[in-house]
Amino acid sequence: MSDYVIRRARLLGEEVTDLAMSGGIITAVGPDLDAPGHVEVDATGLVALPGLVDLHTHLREPGREDAETVLSGTRAAARGGFTCVHAMANTDPVADTAGVVEQVWRLGREGGYCDVQPVGAVTVGLGGSQLAELGAMADSAAQVRVFSDDGKCVSDAVLMRRALEYVKAFDGVIAQHAQEPRLTEGAQMNEGLLSGELGLTGWPAAAEEAIVARDCVLAAHVGSRLHVCHLSTRGSVEIVRWAKSKGWDVTAEVTPHHLLLTDELVRSYDPIYKVNPPLRTADDVAAVREGLADGTIDIVATDHAPHPMEDKECEWSAAAFGMLGLETALSVVQHTMVDTGALTWAQVAERMSAAPARISRVGGGHGRPLAVGEAAHVVLHDPEATRVVTAADSASLSRNNPYAGLELPGRVVATWLRGVPTVRDGELQETN
């Protein structure tokens, strides 16, 4: 393992300083460091951030390796500046046992590009009728602390209450996919005037908001932790804000695509814009940006959802829900939040590194500040760069990128995982 010294980086976008790494640890931070024997990295003009942590990633393995594998997904994550991702449970077989979550966890470690923390299923087979082996997954080598049936809602209130009660024993959290199923049967896009105009079955905001409100009350009732996945409506923001005002232990995430894209894109009938929850109105986009800025929404999570070509390049009604997000997340956040003055780079580090690591209780030094003695999870980002996104330029096995053709600001120049470079000059490195 080589030692590195990063020269003249803007730490969290502020002070210009050097940063030295050795043995997987940050050994020195300060101007003009004396670092003999270290590989020198010129970071003039670049922003240094702690390694990003994604609380919501679909890696598809096991079962759908045609769409993504743990290796390909973590390579995409490294290119996006992530050093830890949380792999959702809707695999085949479902990650509802200690054996499956340990398999996913080990595959991440073997790849060496990004730590993979499995998310365990709440219910057996995501079936919504019987609790999965929550305790066994928590006690496994993967030490699961986040549980979600993402892709499906835990719609049974009694079962949701039991899950919230169960995870209290090991400080776990239930990450809810807030979608009342009976209000969204056959739904294809956001419900409104546009859905009527386009002749597509509408997906009402109330279907999300009803579950968010119910689960906030349930979490408060049992004194447990609730995390709201991919919050997308103004009403959901207001409900979470209300819950937090009462001191309830509720956190929430927003995706990059819900920060930028609106349902107007559905006019094209291009299934690249078909996602769950659906793209919402410009007013909803404004509301989630406000919520992220004022801390009502705690984190940005990608909901990276790769699909093979045949599942997306078809008629709208038959297409799968989901979009890629790992490699573009930081650029979208810069565009929507930093360049608009809504967030500083220090606040980006909080919402994309520290807070997700705190919510998931993940170890390994993830989410920690860039300080002496901390694990050397480091990202260098060039905020002055611009790029036109192309679907082909991706480490993912899939190409369902909703930003293809858009010009976005910023570029991840380098990523280190425990002091090992996974990306240099924007290119993936060999890690093993």
- Domains of the chain plus CATH, in order, are 51-360 (3.20.20.140)
Predicted local distance difference test score (pLDDT) of residue 432: 73
Report d(CA 189, CA 167) in Å as an integer: 34
Residues in the chain: 432
Report d(CA 176, CA 224) in Å as an integer: 13
Residue 361 Ramachandran class (φ > 0 left, ψ -120 to 50 alpha, else beta):
left
Model confidence pTM above 0.95: yes
Report d(CA 379, CA 392) in Å as an integer: 23
Of the residues 18, 298, 303, 311, which is catalytic? 303
pLDDT digits (tens), the chain, 432 positions: 689 999 999 999 999 999 999 999 999 999 999 999 999 999 999 999 999 999 999 999 999 999 999 999 999 999 999 999 999 999 999 999 999 999 999 999 999 999 999 999 999 999 999 999 999 999 999 999 999 999 999 999 999 999 999 999 999 999 999 999 999 999 999 999 999 999 999 999 999 999 999 999 999 999 999 999 999 999 999 999 999 999 999 999 999 999 999 999 999 999 999 999 999 999 999 999 999 999 999 999 999 999 999 999 999 999 999 999 999 999 999 999 999 999 999 999 999 999 999 999 999 999 999 999 999 999 999 999 999 999 999 999 999 999 999 999 999 999 999 999 999 999 999 987
HSE-up (13 A, CA, CB side) for residue 96: 18
Predicted local distance difference test score (pLDDT) of residue 2: 87
Binding site, residues?
A: 56, 58-60, 90, 150, 177, 230, 276, 303, 307, 321-322
Residue 163: φ, ψ to 5°: -65, -45
Binding site for substrate, residues?
A: 58-60, 90, 276, 307, 321-322
Handedness of CA 288, 289, 291, 292 (dihedral sign): positive
Q: Which residues 6+ apart lie within 8 Å of 228 measured at CB?
A: 175, 176, 178, 212, 215, 236, 240, 250, 251, 252, 253
Binding site for Zn(2+), residues?
A: 56, 58, 150, 177, 230, 303
The answer to whether 303 is a known catalytic residue is: yes
